[in-house]
Structure 1
Amino acid sequence: MLVKAYAKINLSLDVVGKREDGYHLLKMIMQTIDLYDVLKMHKIKNGIHIDCNKKYLPCDNRNLAYKAAELFMHKYNIKDGISINIVKNIPAAAGLAGGSADAAAVLKAMRDMYVPEIHNSELIKMGLDIGADVPYCIIGGTALCEGIGEIVTPLIPFRNHILILIKPFFGVSTKEVYKNLDINKVVRHPNTKLLIDAIRRNKLSVLSKNMKNVLENVTLRKHFILREVKRELIDFGALGALMSGSGPSIFAFFDDMLKAQICYDKMKIKYKETFITRTI
């Protein structure tokens, strides 16, 4: 079985509180983009075997795809083993939910292979045990995500909008970013209602000018180069630019493919992991 695991971007990210267990309470608008890993899966006699085209990624139980397979096999008493080959295209440690997307793809594929009658709600419960972004990645599309990520409300699709995505040469730790966030010092929060209305009316310019991610308060302060990336994207004609998740990836929307292509050609020279893609 061949499956695609799609990356996500955050059109907004707000931290609205903190639970007693330390988890932050979020309110964010997520969007699937046409950048994906390819997973080739087939049954084997026993065990879980993972291999990947990126040698720096672990292929044992540190890999979220491995964890997803292990969790599914245990819950549904699957006696077969599974082999998973991952062709990784989504940058790692980038704020794009690459690992979570792989885990969600594994859960959905194993559902199709073994217990097709179970609903997405069951997969979402399992997904939350793997990572906060996995429930959204199971649903995909355009969605409002709340709680610690487990409350996923689909929105009107915001598809087919052009964007440039840049992953700088370094990664960031999501755990460290949240650890260093002081909610009390966040002055500007996303206007989630306004953004949802812009999505409903398909107003790219309104959305682009009002995107907000409160985690930029941490990551952009530590990595000044990200401010420069945002500035360059705007200079090339982007309608708006934002960091995705905890970073360091920066994306920017364009309303003209020629402008986007010129921007891509120039930025690709400076940043190896530069992509031109669309919302889907």
Structure 2
Amino acid sequence: MDRIVLKSFGKINLGLDVVRRRTDGYHEVRMIMQTVGLCDTLTMRKTKGEKISMKCDLSFLPTDRKNLVYQAIELMKERYHISSGVAVDLKKRIPVAAGMAGGSSNCAAAIKGMSQLFGLDLSIEEMCEIGVSLGADVPYCIWGKTALAEGIGEKLTRLSPMPDCWILIAKPGISVSTAFAYKNLKLDQLEKHPDIDGMIRDLENQDLDGICSKLENVLETVTIPKHPVIRDLKEHLLEHGAEGALMSGSGPTVFGIYKEKHTARRALESLRGIQDVKQAYVVRPV
């Protein structure tokens, strides 16, 4: 195999709770993660020599050692004594720096791609071990589907799949730093925490109404006061038929859950004239 094409899927958080801040500065979390059908595409191929080369259709993204894809390939070349060069072509659709783990997902795809391209036949556990050294969300992106993430995000438990539905993803034209969101989270002032255990039961029972009633993300207590457009976007989706709406990850992407495709499509059309919305898609859970 000299060339491989991989899909790199984005994620949303159905629930995001922060349990405590550790002495090393990291935060312990309990999150329910869900892969969605919005994906980037990685084309990877072997090349002569030992060089790693990378290009991307978004000119502002780095294509050197600052990119997690490059880092993953470099790490695996060294770890498995791979002398061949690797060329990567990345085409982006997942919103960048938007709470959908696009960079982590690209990194996970690169790890899988290296395993397949060079016949390493790595297990999920071996790939996750590589992934966690590059980013806390990378192991989940290797797993995909529906999962509970604990610790700093690297302790994963497979959950029952999300009931079939339609998900409208909307990215406003702002950026939110993950570091900013966690640094400014006031854990001692949180009035309530997401019902993660209740949502796990709703997933087991395939209760979409129950899931939608429990959507909660404690990082909204940081991002919404600074960026009210996130609240406005949630309200807009609810007013246009969403069963529930939430900010994903550290934001600013907002998603709404719909039972019917036509309702989700109408809501998507309603966003066309809103200047603050830069990207919007209707997708399904993966």
Give the TM interval when normalised to the shorter protein: over 0.9
Deviates more, 1:268-277 or 1:238-247: 268-277
For 1:37 and 1:159, the matched residues in 2 are separated by 24
- In structure 2, the partner of 1:8 is 11
Match of 1:204 in 2: 208
C-alpha distance after superposition, 1:122-145 (max 9, x if no partner): 111111111111010000000000
Give, in whole Å, the separation in 2 of the partners of 1:59 and 1:113: 20
Residues 31, 149 of structure 2: 8 Å contact kept: yes
RMSD (Å) for aligned C-alpha atoms? 1.0
| One-letter code aligned to 1:31 | Q
Name which of 55, 59, 67 aligns with 2:59.
55
**Structure 2, unaligned stretches of length 5 or more?**
none
- Aligned partners of 2:163 and 2:206 also within 8 Å: no
- Aligned partners of 2:42 and 2:163: how far apart in 1? 24
Q: Which moved more, 1:41-50 or 1:94-103?
A: 41-50
Measured in 1, the distance between the counterparts of 2:52 and 2:192 equals 46
> Is 1:83 aligned to residue 84 of structure 2?
no
Whether the 8 Å CA contact 1:159–1:278 is kept in 2: the answer is no
Deviations 1:89-130 (A, max 9, x none): 101010000000000000011111224332111111111111
Offset, 1:193: 1.0
Partner of 1:233: 237
Check whether the contact 1:43–1:83 (CA below 8 A) recurs between aligned residues.
Answer: yes
**Is 1:95 equivalent to 2:99 in the alignment?**
yes
Deviations 1:159-207 (A, max 9, x none): 5320111000111110111111111111110111110011111111110
SS of 2:157's partner is strand
Local SS of the residue matching 2:64:
coil
The 5-angstrom pairing of residues 186-201 of structure 1 reads: 186-201=190-205
Give the SS at the match of 1:230. helix
Q: Which residue in 1 is equivalent to 2:142? A: 138
Identical positions, percent:
41
**Aligned-partner SS, 1:279:** coil
Stretch of structure 1 that moved more, 94-103 or 258-267? 258-267
Are residue 21 (structure 1) and residue 24 (structure 2) matched? yes
Aligned pair count reads: 280
What's the TM-score, normalizing by structure 2? Answer: 0.96
Q: Kindly state the Cα deviation for residue 65 of structure 1 after the two structures are TM-superposed.
A: 0.7
Secondary structure of the structure 2 residue equivalent to 1:268: coil
Shift of 1:269: 2.7
Give the whole-Å Cα distance in 1 for the aligned partners of 2:132 and 2:102: 15
Partner of 1:168: 172
1:251, distance to aligned residue in structure 2 (A): 0.2
What secondary structure is seen at the aligned counterpart in 1 of 2:70? Answer: helix
| Whole-angstrom distance in 1 between the partners of 2:127 and 2:278 | 35
TM-score normalised according to structure 1 size: 0.98
